[in-house]
Every structure is written in structure tokens, then in C-alpha cells.
């Protein structure tokens, strides 16, 4: 399904200036852009390869639905252009190290003096101050420091990194939510404010009940592998032809699960009579249950369990995910035209849909700085002034970064 949507999203009236790089910051801006915000990416003229650490196609995922302006904020002329843009902007988002925004003179207090209504979003590794405030931060460091690696992986297996950059992604989403809350509050007060989060804060917030187990219960959660940390049977079980994910932790679901696999007699065993006892005797119960599940074909077991209300599903590789009938029905993979690639690209759409003003893939990611001339003209710069900005190094980008590129799209 091609979705070069022209309908406005709920944030279509919001202008966003995007100073972000890497992943956490762009994830925040992507949320705003998918909701229709008018996003202008601002990057240094020599920063055409700003995402060089990531595969080329990752830029298409992170920077869709925006335009790109090459501007050198280390120059007075470049900052003057940015300040002009700030006057009628609604949001500025950055994920520099804490001190960089001050060196560039694009910090919140400076921009607030230009536009008191500005909502300024900051994403950092560990917060804007404190003993770690000046440290560089990336996802894996936050996963370790935030406790996630200590509860991930098989029991006794040592620390395990989660397979996605979860602190980056969650920090970006939390920041987007905070920015939208600040925009709503501005409707009453007429004033903007500084919205902050960090990889560390997002990571610890995502610990959820595992953090509560310690803060209230004084219990340090161990690794539980593919099993639920406290409930059983809730995990991954073998079938004849693969592995199946099953969640039968409640008493009624447990009984229904046993009926399906032909082990109903286990419900009379005192070791398995309550949820707490099943947790204590997990190894014994697992051995008995697996003996039964191994006799089933995976698809048959999944269908039989779901038919009686016991949640169950397959363990899919990424390619199989996009072949799944429910994923296809939801149209999570959608196509968009890319001038830079000269063909259609397939991306994962926003997971949020609105009935009237929905999110959409409205525009493929621009080449770095590709919209520089058009944007400068919109802000009143003449052709001669644009040429002067480029000649001085205050604006413009290497033409090689805007050329059409080759990439794989399915």
C-alpha cells in the first residue's frame, strides 16, 4: 500500500526545528513528524554523513517526513539564520552533550529570549547535570547502568543486551510525549518550557515492576530467560517443529492449558496448585509440560490454546514477521516514494492511528541539506544572500551527499 499522504496530521500546525543526530533524538522527532508536524532538520554543512555509524537505509527510517537544511551553527551568520527560524517555531529538539548547546548558543534560555513560546526538548545520556551529566551516553551503556542487562538472558548467563536499542527508542518516545504535553499546557499559559529526559531515566522507567520489586519489596530480580519473571507457565515451550510462546499463568488459564495438552491431572498436584507454588516448582512443572507440548505441531498447539482463551503464538524471525497475516492486515509495512533512491521504499509505519487525522508516511527522508535553498527563501533570504551564506561556509552542503543513492527495498 502506497502512502504518500497529503492529509494533515494532528500536529500539522506545529513547526519543529530538529538538531538531533544518532537515534534517541531522531526517534522523538519522528513521532512528531509522523503526526504531521512541519519538521526542518538542521545539520552542519559537512555533516552529510551524520549517520555514518548506521546503515544507509536507517536514515530512511529515522528521518522521514521532514525537510533538511544545512546550516553551520558555529558561525554568527548560521546562528542568525537559526534565530530567525526560532521566532516562528514551536519546538526545538536536541540531543547534544549537555554543554554543547551552550557553546553553540542554542540553549533554552537563549532561544526563550527570542521566542517565549518555544518548547525546547533535550535528550541526553544521563541527564543535563549531576556526576554523569558530562559523560557521553549510548544505548548499551544505559542498558547496563539502568539494570536491564542484569535481568535479561538465561539464569546465570551473565549480562545480556536487549536486541533493540531500547533506551534510545524509549527516551525518544518519552521526550515526544513530554513535548506534546508542553504544547497542550502552552495553550493555557502562552509560555513554552524546557522538556528533558535521558537514556538512563527512560531505561529505569522501563524497568516497571522489576524496579518496584526492589523499591517496595526489597527483592533484586534475577535473570529468568524466556520465562516470565514471577509467573509460570508463561514462557517459551518446545513443539514437534519449533518453539511456541505460551502465557497460562492464571489459575483458570493454567487449567485450560493442561486440558489442551492432555495433562489435566497435574492440577491436583500440590506443587502446582497455586500460582506461588508453580513458581517455586518451576523446573519440575516445566519438565512435565514440555513432555506434552513436544507431541504437538506448533501451529496446532497455538490454535488449540487460543481457542480456549490461553494466549499463545509463534516465535518469528524478522522476515516471517512481515509475512504474518495479522501484520499484513494492519499494513504495518508501507511504501513511500523516494526521490533520493529513485524508487519506492518500504518502511514500518507509526504504530499509532487516529480516526480523522492519522499518522502517515508523507515524505521519504531527504538527502542531508537537500532543502537548504528552498527553506532559506521561505525565511526571506534572497538568492544573493543565500550564495553569500554558502560562500562563507554558514550554509549549504556538499553536493555529493544529495546525489541519488542505491539501496535495497523489498
Which residues lie below 8 Å from residue 35, measured CB to CB, with a gap of 6+? 9, 10, 11, 350, 352, 359
Highest mean pLDDT: which of 36-50, 159-173, 391-405? 159-173
Size of the chain, expressed as the number of residues it contains = 410
pLDDT at 239 over 60: yes
- Please, what are the domains in the chain? 15-207+355-402 (3.40.50.10540), 234-321 (3.30.1540.10)
Question: Mean pLDDT, to the nearest integer, of 120-139?
Answer: 96
Element (H, E) at 27: helix 24-34
Average pLDDT, the chain: 93
CB 258 within 8 A of CB 268: no
Query: How far does the chain reach from its first CA to its final CA, in angstroms?
Result: 13
The residue written with cell numbers 517526513 in the block is 65
pLDDT at 406 over 60: no
What was the pLDDT predicted at 240?
Answer: 98
pLDDT in tens, 333-370: 999 999 888 889 999 999 999 999 999 999 999 999 99
What was the pLDDT predicted at 397?
Answer: 76
* pLDDT confidence bin for 35, thresholds 50/70/90: very high
pLDDT at 410 over 50: no
Annotation marks residue 168 as catalytic: yes
What was the pLDDT predicted at 320?
Answer: 98
Closest CA to 166 of 121, 202, 123: 202
pLDDT: is 260 or 58 the higher one? 260
Of 32-36, 191-195, 313-317, 394-398, the poorest mean pLDDT is in 394-398
Which residue in 168, 227, 256, 371 is the catalytic one?
168
The DSSP call for residue 244 is E
pLDDT at 395 over 50: yes
Please tell me whether residue 120 adopts helix, strand or coil conformation. strand
pLDDT at 246 over 90: yes
Question: Mean pLDDT, to the nearest integer, of 209-222?
Answer: 97
* pLDDT confidence bin for 2, thresholds 50/70/90: very low
CB 162 within 8 A of CB 143: yes
pLDDT at 96 over 80: yes
pLDDT at 229 over 50: yes
Residue 342 exposed, middle or buried by CB count within 10 Å (0-12, 13-18, 19+): exposed
d(CA 67, CA 39) in angstroms, rounded, equals 6
Q: What is the pTM of this model?
A: 0.93
d(CA 238, CA 255) in angstroms, rounded, equals 19
pLDDT at 47 over 70: no
Amino acid at each position: 500500500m502506497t502512502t504518500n499522504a497529503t492529509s494533515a496530521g494532528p500536529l500539522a500546525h506545529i513547526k519543529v526545528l530538529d538538531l538531533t543526530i544518532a537515534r534517541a533524538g531522531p526517534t522523538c522527532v519522528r513521532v512528531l513528524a509522523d503526526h504531521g508536524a512541519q519538521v526542518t532538520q538542521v545539520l552542519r554543512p559537512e555533516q552529510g554523513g551524520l549517520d555514518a555509524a548506521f546503515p544507509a537505509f536507517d536514515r530512511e527510517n529515522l528521518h522521514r517526513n521532514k525537510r533538511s537544511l544545512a546550516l553551520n551553527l558555529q558561525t554568527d551568520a548560521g546562528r542568525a539564520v537559526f534565530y530567525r527560524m526560532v521566532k516562528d517555531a514551536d519546538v526545538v529538539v536536541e540531543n547534544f552533550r549537555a554543554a554543547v548547546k551552550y557553546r553553540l548558543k542554542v540553549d533554552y534560555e537563549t532561544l526563550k529570549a527570542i521566542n517565549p513560546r518555544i518548547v525546547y526538548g533535550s535528550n541526553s545520556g544521563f541527564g543535563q547535570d549531576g556526576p554523569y551529566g558530562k559523560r557521553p551516553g549510548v544505548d548499551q551503556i544505559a542498558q547496563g547502568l539502568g539494570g536491564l542487562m542484569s535481568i535479561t538472558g538465561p539464569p546465570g548467563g551473565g549480562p545480556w543486551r536487549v536486541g533493540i536499542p531500547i533506551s534510545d527508542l524509549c527516551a525518544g518516545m518519552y521526550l515526544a510525549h513530554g513535548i506534546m504535553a508542553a504544547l497542550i499546557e502552552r495553550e493555557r499559559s502562552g509560555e513554552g518550557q524546557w522538556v528533558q529526559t535521558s537514556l538512563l531515566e527512560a531505561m529505569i522507567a522501563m524497568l516497571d515492576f522489576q524496579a518496584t520489586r526492589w523499591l517496595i519489596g526489597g527483592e533484586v530480580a534475577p535473570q529468568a530467560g524466556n520465562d516470565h519473571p514471577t509467573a509460570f507457565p508463561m514462557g517459551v515451550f518446545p513443539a514437534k517443529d519449533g518453539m511456541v510462546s505460551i502465557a497460562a499463568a492464571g489459575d483458570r488459564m493454567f487449567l485450560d492449558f493442561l486440558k489442551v495438552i492432555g495433562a489435566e491431572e497435574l492440577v491436583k498436584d500440590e506443587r502446582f496448585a497455586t500460582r506461588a507454588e508453580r513458581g517455586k516448582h518451576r523446573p519440575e512443572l516445566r519438565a512435565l509440560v514440555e513432555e506434552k507440548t513436544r507431541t504437538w505441531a506448533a501451529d496446532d498447539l497455538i490454535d488449540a490454546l487460543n481457542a480456549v482463551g490461553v494466549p499463545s503464538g509463534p516465535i518469528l524471525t524478522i522476515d516471517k514477521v512481515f509475512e504474518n497475516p495479522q501484520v499484513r492486515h494492519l499494513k504495518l509495512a508501507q511504501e513511500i516514494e523516494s526521490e533520493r533512491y529513485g524508487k519506492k521504499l518500504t518502511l514500518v509505519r507509526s504504530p499509532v492511528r487516529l480516526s480523522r487525522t492519522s499518522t502517515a508516511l508523507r515524505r521519504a527522508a531527504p538527502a542531508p541539506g537537500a532543502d537548504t535553498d528552498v527553506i532559506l527563501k521561505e525565511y526571506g533570504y534572497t538568492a544573493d544572500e543565500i550564495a553569500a551564506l554558502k560562500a562563507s561556509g554558514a550554509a549549504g552542503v556538499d553536493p555529493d551527499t544529495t546525489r541519488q543513492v542505491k539501496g535495497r527495498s523489498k
